[in-house]
Structure formats: C-alpha cells, structure tokens
Amino acid sequence: MVDQTTPDEHAVVPFLRAGPPPDRTRWEGWQQWRKIRGTFVPAPRLTLAEYQSLSPRRRALHDLHRTATHVNMRLQETPMSARVANLMRGRLQNNAVKFMPGTRDGLMINGGGFQGKTETACDAAASFEDVWREVHHQLLPGPTPGTRDVFVPVAYCRLPVRATPKGLCKAILNVYGNPHPGTLDDLVRAVRDGIRDHHTIALLIDDITRLRLHREDDQDTLDLIRELMDLNVTLILIGVDIPGSGLLRGAYVDQRTGQWVFPDHGRGGRHSTAAATQTGRRFDMVDLDPFDYSTPSGITAFLDHLAGIEDQLRLLRSFEGMLTSGEMPEYLFGRTRGVVGLLRRLIEDGCTEAILTGEERLTPELLAKATIHLGNLDDLDPRAGEVPDIPQPAAPPAKPKSRRGRGRNTVLDDRGNRPAAGD
C-alpha cells in the first residue's frame, strides 16, 4: 500500500475497485468475491498534524481512502453470527463426506431484515469452499485442456419476488450460466443435471420468505425446493420471520432431534420423482437475532462489537472509548435496536458527516443529524419483511432559553416563563 505521507503526487490509488461489485448469483462473481473478501487495505492512521502536513491532493486522496475504509468495514463475528456460522459449517462438512445416497439435512437461517443473515451464510459457505477446493484439487489436480472449470461447490441464488417453479429453476441455472429450456419439465431436468455436473454440494436460496403460499405457484415452488434435497446437495434457506411466513405449514418438530420435518404429501407435481416419496425432509432452523441490551452478557457483546467498529474508524479526532463510553452505547442501541445492518449504516453516515464538517469524531449530537440510509431497495421486498423499520432519532436535548433582563441573563422554563421565586 502507498504511504499517504510520502511526497509522491502520482502514486496509484490501491483502494478503489475496477468495475462493478461481484455478482454472487453467478459462479464467476461468487469466485471473485470469495477470493477478494477480507483483502481490503484500510487507510493508515494519521494524526491531525500529519494530515494537515499533506498536500491538498494527498489530503483529498486520504479522505477518499478513509471513506472507503468506513464503508468497507470487515465483517465482525458476533455471538449470534458465530452460532449460525458454526452450525452451517458443521452441516456442510457432515453432508459433504457422506457417501450413502439419500436426502441431506438442510438448514434454515431465520432473522429480521438487515441483521446480517446473508453475509454470515455466504462467509461460512465461502470458508467451507476454501477447504473443499483444496480437497478437490488433490483428487483432481489440474484442469482438462480445452474445457472450462465446471467445479461449483457452492451455488447462491435469490428467490424472485414473484416465485414460481420456473423462476426458481432459472435463478439456479443462471448461477452456472446454463441455458433455460422452454418447459417446466425440461427446466427441472436441467437444474438437476446442473447441480450434479457442477458437483454442487451446497445450494443457498436467499429471500425464501417471498413465498406467500396462498398461490399454487408458491406451494409448487416450495415442493421443488424440498425435492432438490434428493440430489445430495445441502439446502440453506435464508429468510425473514420464517415461523410467521407460513413456510412451516404442514411441518412438525421431531421431539428426538429438534428438527423440522416436512412430510411428503404426495402432491404429484410434474417435478416429483420417485425419491420424493420418502417420509420427509429435515431442516434445522437457527435464528440470527439482534443484540440484546437487557442482560449483562448482551451488553458486553454489544460493547465488544462497538469496540471492533471503533478500531476500524479513521477519524482524526477519535479517541479510545468514543463508541463504548458515556451515553454513546445507549444512544447507538436506541437508534438501531441492536440490528447490525442499521448500526453499520448509521456509523457510515456519521463518519461522512464528521469528515465533511471537520468534527472528525462521532458524538450523539452529530449522529442525531444523520439519517440512516438503507441504500438501493429495488431488489428488496418490503412485504416479506426485508426492509426493517428504522427507529427515529430522539430529539436533541433542548437548550435553556434566556433573555436579558436587568443586566443579567435569566433562565426561563420550558414555556418561556421566569421560574417562581425560590425555585
């Protein structure tokens, strides 16, 4: 990385990316994201005096680098996300080394909008793929000349807003870049062939609660999702408020294992296969909750998270305890209700305001001026709970009014009146 304090006025800018961000719903984009995740180099820490000694151009570049640092903060593990990631990695590993045919137990990741479900699941899947690719390389070293690498161990897709069996099949085929046949039968066959031919062992389907189940298409889509488990692939379903969405209708909890069991009701859809006559398909469901500020352990976890964020900030007047001391923790929790995504956006917007105004530190007064922007919401479905409610900032404390009288300032009450004598 270029030293920001050097006099080189023509140094390259190492922190900007070329081209659009990776599209994880395509196998090429997933591989690009998997390889570059965690490689961002944050801006160096400069004192105010070191910053002021820079030339105007270097100062502008450093500000840009600081901005990039604040909007690309690393993914921090929380007790809630660790529970999800550990269960997911264990499930992927167990299913990947099973040699017997049959369905593989799936996993449902449940939580509210902007609570980090997608990033936690994708990071866990990418970590598993890092290991699995090393194993695959030992088994099949080197590509075959004249062919492309068709090994796609992890496939990630999102359920279309208006889900249909055809729409889901097309979303899965898009991962591999495979063509779309015209009929549903051929689409389902192409999906089965694609999962098998690309050696996919983990299929992540995001936004699963877009299924309303009051339409026959929704139920057919859910049946198709369950039947994909017959392909020796681990299904990871990600959604908002899965218990309240209706997706568990007809399912029951196995008291011995604690798993949700989806019996086969013999609907006889066109995509049904002989393997679909098994007694049921099993899923574990794990919740990714927001931070809890009502218990000592919850408060400690939230403060640890704030300390991790504080360590990543590059404000020139920041100080130890800027986010973890005084009234700041309570203020941040009140603004975000402990939702990781909302907290991240508030800090990003606050840092932008701190740099633009020259405040160069975060305070409740500065953050009260910042509105939490959720970015582009065109690809989110508010009806499925994917857009959370944003708590309104508390009004800043009113300053006491004063007016000059008889040579001194007189403090007035909230109605603008003088207090009574003796008050």
Residue 348 has what pLDDT? 95
Both tokens of 173, joined, read: 């085929």
| Tens digits of residue pLDDT in 41-58 | 999 999 999 999 999 999
Both tokens of 201, joined, read: 């062992």
Other CB atoms within a 10 A radius of the CB of residue 228 amount to 21
Secondary structure class of 409 (helix, strand, coil): strand
Residue 267 has what pLDDT? 46
Closest CA to 82 of 293, 289, 312: 289
Residue 94 has what pLDDT? 94
Residue 11 has what pLDDT? 54
Angstrom distance (rounded) from CA 174 to CA 170: 6
What are 206's strand-pairing partners?
158
Closest CA to 247 of 274, 279, 214: 214
Angstrom distance (rounded) from CA 179 to CA 361: 52
Residue 99 has what pLDDT? 84
Minimum mean pLDDT range among 27-31, 43-47, 197-201, 276-280? 276-280
Sheet holding 280-287, edge to edge: 154-158, 202-206, 234-240, 106-111, 280-287, 260-263, 252-253
| Tens digits of residue pLDDT in 148-171 | 567 899 999 999 888 899 999 999
Q: Is 6 exposed, middle or buried (0-12, 13-18, 19+ CB in 10 A)?
A: exposed
Residue 320 has what pLDDT? 95
Angstrom distance (rounded) from CA 103 to CA 271: 16
Q: Which long-range contacts link 374-380 to residues 24+ away (Cβ below 8 Å)? A: 374/114, 374/345, 375/345, 379/158, 380/113
Residue 141 has what pLDDT? 64
Place of tokens 């180099």: 41
Angstrom distance (rounded) from CA 25 to CA 300: 36
Both tokens of 20, joined, read: 């659009």
Residue 219 has what pLDDT? 84
Assign 387 a pLDDT band (cuts: 50, 70, 90). low
Phi/psi of residue 87, nearest 5 degrees: -65, -40
Residue 19 has what pLDDT? 81
Q: What is the pTM of this model?
A: 0.82
On the question of pLDDT at 419 being above 60, the answer is no
Average pLDDT (91-112) is 91
Q: Which amino acid is at 244?
A: G
On the question of pLDDT at 352 being above 90, the answer is yes
On the question of pLDDT at 395 being above 80, the answer is no
Angstrom distance (rounded) from CA 127 to CA 149: 20
Both tokens of 14, joined, read: 């190492």
Q: Which long-range contacts link 275-279 to residues 24+ away (Cβ below 8 Å)? A: 275/103, 275/227, 275/230, 276/226, 276/227, 276/230, 278/102, 278/103, 278/230
**If you average pLDDT over every residue of the chain, what do you get?**
83
Assign 61 a pLDDT band (cuts: 50, 70, 90). very high
Residue 409 has what pLDDT? 37
Assign 378 a pLDDT band (cuts: 50, 70, 90). low
Average pLDDT (283-299) is 95
Annotate 195-217 with DSSP letters as a single string. HHHTT--EEEEE-GGG--SSSHH
pLDDT: which is higher, 174 or 394: 174
Angstrom distance (rounded) from CA 343 to CA 145: 49
- Cα–Cα distances (Å) from 196 to 7, 199, 406, in that order, read 56, 5, 89
On the question of pLDDT at 265 being above 70, the answer is no
Assign 306 a pLDDT band (cuts: 50, 70, 90). very high
Q: Which amino acid is at 4?
A: Q
Average pLDDT (2-27) is 70
- In percent, how much of the chain has pLDDT > 70? 79
Assign 218 a pLDDT band (cuts: 50, 70, 90). confident
Closest CA to 302 of 329, 341, 334, 335: 329
- Cα–Cα distances (Å) from 318 to 47, 62, 323, 327, 362, in that order, read 10, 16, 9, 16, 7
Assign 5 a pLDDT band (cuts: 50, 70, 90). very low
Most confident of 15-24, 137-146, 183-192, 222-231: 183-192
